[in-house]
Copies of this chain bind each other. A is one copy, B any other.
Amino acid sequence: MKKHNFSAGPCILPQDVLKKASEAVLNFNGLDLSLIEISHRSKEFVEVMENARNLVKELLNVPNGYSVLFLQGGASLEFLMTAYNLLKVDGKAAYLDTGAWAAKALKEAKLLGEIDVVASSKDKTYNYIPKNYAIPADVDYFHCTSNNTIYGTQIKEFPKTDSLLVCDMSSDIFSKQIDVSKFDLIYAGAQKNMGPAGTTLVIVKDSILGKTGRKIPSMLDYQVHINKDSMFNTPPVFPVYVSMLTLQWLKDLGGVAAIEKINEEKAALLYAEIDRNPLFKGFAEVEDRSLMNVTFNLTNEEDKEAFDKIWNAAGISGIKGHRSVGGYRASIYNAMPIESIQVLVNAMQQLEK
């Protein structure tokens, strides 16, 4: 029996994608060779990279003038690359502090310039998204994190700003429609809605690059990777391939508009139970609730043993909350079927009885 996998990431991927990925490890495209033992410069793998890139463009309706890259190092390396590529010598950048990952992003940028933290929700363990903050006019860029996995908060409306808009979308990209033209740089570790750990998606507006006055090391320079179609060095072949499969799965399902509707239904089902059931309470402020990571606590901690027994018996895995928040976190990414969420809701109702 397949588990109900609520892991925060790496996380559930479509079963059909796992099956195809498993086959390609043995025999890729009928070549009688494994996907992971062929040259990344072979016709067959170059095609994988192109397909993956084109699927991103199609699914997110990426306008002309933007490049799509598949890199390594996760969002953590992007924290540094953002600053290297966009923060001018003696420049300044603005950051919104909505959690541990946002804080890590600005920590790396501080090595290269002055950082203005325009607002923070640290005062309430990041259980809300700050609003009505001012972004200084003289910054090189503004950086925010669209979805905060640990706390279960999500930005519903991005700020209007004249400066460059940079967003870490690691945990909600491809889950809902976005207007890419409003952003200058988007990045996302693959391991939520796109694929396995080991590759990072970058969508960057070409015209913003090359303006910092810095010498950028090759591996940290977006322009270098753009010039080489993400093949400046050997790319992470398997993670890119599985990302391509997952994006194709999403396209076949009807694309981002279709999954957005499903994601809204899934989240509504779980939040409704949290709000109805007196034994549970939500962690995040209602208006900032994430559609990807649903965080909640027991009203009475004494129920913990009983509840843990119930969901374990139901075949649920990965709902333990992050240590900084406690309680529970149900990550309900694109590949999570609503049936699994119903199993969790049933477990919550069983505790009530």
Contacts and interface: CB of A to CB of B under 8 A. Distances in A.
Q: How many copies of the chain does the oligomer comprise? A: 2
Interface majority SS (helix, strand, loop, mixed), chain A: loop
Given A7-B37, A10-B234, A218-B107, A26 B19 contact: yes
A37 B108 CA distance: 28
Given A72-B74, A215-B111, A217-B111, A237 B197 contact: yes
A318 interface: yes
Contacts of A237: 10, 196-198
Contacts of A46: none
A22 interface: yes
Contacts of A189: 234
A21 interface: yes
A191 interface: yes
A13 B233 CA distance: 20
Nearest to A13: B37
- Place the interface of chain A in its size category: 35 or more
Interface string A46-83: 00000000000000000000000000111111011000
B108 A39 contact: no
B36 A10 contact: yes
Contact of A7 (B39, B74, B111, B198): B39
A331 to B, nearest CB: 10
B32 A25 contact: no
A242 interface: yes
A2 B57 CA distance: 36
A348 to B, nearest CB: 22
A219 B77 CA distance: 6
A76 to B, nearest CB: 4
A197 B21 contact: no
A266 interface: no
Interface string A27-49: 00001111011111000000000
A280 interface: no
Interface in A2-23: 2-3, 5, 7-13, 18-19, 21-23
Among A74, A108, A199, A235, residue most surrounded by chain B Cβ atoms (within 10 Å): A74
Among A12, A36, A235, residue most surrounded by chain B Cβ atoms (within 10 Å): A36
B108 A40 contact: no
Interface of A: 1-3, 5, 7-13, 18-19, 21-23, 25-26, 31-34, 36-40, 72-77, 79-80, 104, 107-108, 111, 189, 191, 196-199, 215, 217-220, 232-239, 242, 317-318
15 contacts: A7-B37, A8-B39, A9-B39, A18-B25, A22-B22, A22-B23, A25-B25, A37-B196, A72-B73, A104-B218, A108-B218, A191-B234, A197-B236, A198-B237, A198-B239
Nearest 6 interchain pairs by C-beta = A198-B236, A36-B196, A76-B233, A22-B25, A72-B72, A197-B234
Given A10-B40, A10-B234, A21-B36, 20 more contacts: A3-B32, A3-B33, A7-B38, A7-B39, A8-B39, A10-B37, A10-B38, A11-B37, A18-B25, A18-B34, A18-B36, A22-B23, A76-B219, A76-B233, A104-B218, A189-B234, A196-B237, A197-B236, A197-B238, A238-B238
